[in-house]
């Protein structure tokens, strides 16, 4: 049975999965657009550019993990159904860090990855520097993920 607490928890899941997924799709799209132009000219660079294209996609995975954890905890995917509003609000709030951090960090990571694609196109031997630069932004996605993860596992049922 759907109640207000469940609605808040499900809104949190939508934010965690939806925002992080939107950011990842935007970031991967930005990097992939840049990479496709390079690969069209030199297909041998595909392998080096693939990592740069994939990096912004991790935020969507982090959001999915948090979303599935909440669905498990509130009884949607089995177990006891959580019914009270304070618990639903707690899950909603727990989903905000990965939703927000995932959205913005994935978009930023996509832009940095796109500049890394341009660097790799001109100087393929420098591709590792481009990957490291794009990976630096991953820290902020991880901070959002860890905050959401730790909060979700510590919400009393």
Distance CA(81)–CA(74), nearest Å, equals: 5
Quick one: tokens of 114?
A: 């796109």
Check residue 60 and give its pLDDT. Answer: 97
Instruction: Write the pLDDT tens digit of every residue in 8-66.
Output: 999 999 999 999 999 999 999 999 999 999 999 999 999 989 999 999 999 999 999 99
* Both structure tokens of 33: 């657009």
- Residue 18 is classified by DSSP as H
pLDDT tens track for 71-90:
999 999 887 887 799 999 99
Of 23, 16, 142, 22, the closest CA to residue 69 belongs to 16
Q: What is the pLDDT of residue 115?
A: 96
Q: pTM for this one?
A: 0.92
Please say whether the beta carbons of 95 and 16 come within 8 A. yes
pLDDT digit string (tens) for 98-148?
A: 999 999 999 999 999 999 999 999 999 999 999 999 999 999 999 999 999
pLDDT at 157: 79
Q: Which of 64, 99, 90 minimizes the C-alpha distance to 8?
A: 90
Q: What pLDDT was estimated at residue 1?
A: 62
């Amino acid at each position: 049975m759907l109640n207000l607490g469940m609605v808040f928890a499900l809104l949190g899941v939508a934010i965690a999965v939806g925002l992080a997924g939107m950011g990842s799709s935007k970031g991967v799209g930005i990097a992939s657009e840049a990479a496709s132009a390079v690969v069209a000219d030199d297909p041998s660079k595909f392998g080096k550019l693939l990592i740069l294209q994939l990096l912004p996609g991790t935020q969507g995975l982090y959001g999915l993990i948090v979303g599935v954890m909440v669905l498990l905890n509130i009884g949607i995917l089995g177990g006891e159904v959580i019914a009270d509003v304070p618990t639903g609000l707690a899950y909603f709030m727990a989903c905000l860090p990965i939703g927000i951090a995932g959205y913005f960090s994935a978009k930023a990571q996509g832009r940095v990855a796109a500049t890394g694609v341009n660097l790799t196109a001109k100087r393929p031997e420098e591709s590792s520097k481009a990957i490291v630069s794009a990976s630096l932004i991953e820290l902020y996605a991880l901070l959002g993920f860890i905050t959401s993860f730790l909060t979700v596992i510590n919400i009393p049922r």
